[in-house]
Amino acid sequence: MQRISLAVANWKMNGTLAEAKRWAEDFAPVAPALEGVETVVCAPALHLPLLHASLPESVRLGAEDVSAYTNGAHTGDVSAAMLADAGVDWVIVGHSERRAEAGDTDERVLEKARRASEAGLSTILCVGETLEERRAGSTESVLERQLVSVLSGLKPGELAALAYEPVWAIGTGEAASPETAQAVARHLRGLVARHWGEERAARLPVLYGGSVNEKNAAQFFACPDIDGALVGGASLDPERFGHIAKALKARH
Ligand code: 13P
């Protein structure tokens, strides 16, 4: 079953406007070599209009988060419609940093996914267990709760990709082993199949995220259930992110 390959940069809260512009310029020569890989840059909301104007056309724009509300009195929020208006195609919901720092619950993550879908954005849902949860043997139940609470409130067409991001692997330099990532990706795909059927599950891209770099990326892309990566730190350097995206292209 053919699934799209996705190389997604998540810059998090990094970079000035000048740095964002330079990143786009430096990445431009790499972009033509990435045909067949959906390449997405998720950046701080303030940087999105500038990136929309400066990224090569083949590179898609993504937001790191979206409001759970449509519009109105929600100080500090950015709505899905505003993102779409700024040229955004993709959005991340449920990132562990939003869950931990901004208090995003499964219920709120579902509302965010709904708003994104209403605005025509493609949603990447992040799930992942903490080290304590893994040590306690509750990885599967945590992932199931995070995934099913969102799946059960959406239609199959309303989710574009899943990302497995174990919290203990994010920003630590300690990526999950490809075996662990593959086993979880398969488990997640099985849960999707149970809710939305085999066909939808077989077509849903599943990404791995957590200390992915230009050296370890190819190992993940060799896994049958892993269709790409969500890259934090290494994506701040266009050359490193380019190597990762090229490794994904090479798997075709
Ligand atoms: P790192 O690649 O820096 O570990 O971050 C992963 C991540 O959280 C991407 O969303």
Q: Is 158 a catalytic residue?
A: no
Ligand 1 centre distance from Cα of residue 97 (Å)? 10
Residue 197 buriedness (CB in 10 A; 0-12 / 13-18 / 19+): exposed
Neighbours of 208 (CB within 10 A): 32
State which H helix or E strand residue 125 sits in. Answer: strand 122-127
How many whole angstroms separate alpha carbon 7 and alpha carbon 102? 26
DSSP 31: G
Q: Is 214 a catalytic residue?
A: no
Active-site residue (options: 95, 129, 133, 187):
95
Residue 252 has pLDDT above 80, yes or no: no
Strand-pair partners of 2: none
How many whole angstroms separate alpha carbon 104 and alpha carbon 110? 10
Ligand 1 centre distance from Cα of residue 175 (Å)? 10
How many whole angstroms separate alpha carbon 158 and alpha carbon 9? 21
Mean pLDDT of the chain: 97
Tens-digit pLDDT profile for residues 58-112: 999 999 999 999 999 999 999 999 999 999 999 999 999 999 999 999 999 999 9
Ligand 1 centre distance from Cα of residue 42 (Å)? 12
C-beta of 94 in contact with ligand 1 (< 6 A): no
Strand-pair partners of 91: 63, 123
Tens-digit pLDDT profile for residues 31-65: 999 999 999 999 999 999 999 999 999 999 999 99
Terminus-to-terminus CA distance in the chain, angstroms? 13
Tokens of 76: 């500090």
Tens-digit pLDDT profile for residues 131-183: 999 999 999 999 999 999 999 999 999 999 999 999 999 999 999 999 999 99
Residue pair 103/72 in contact (Cβ under 8 Å)? The answer is no
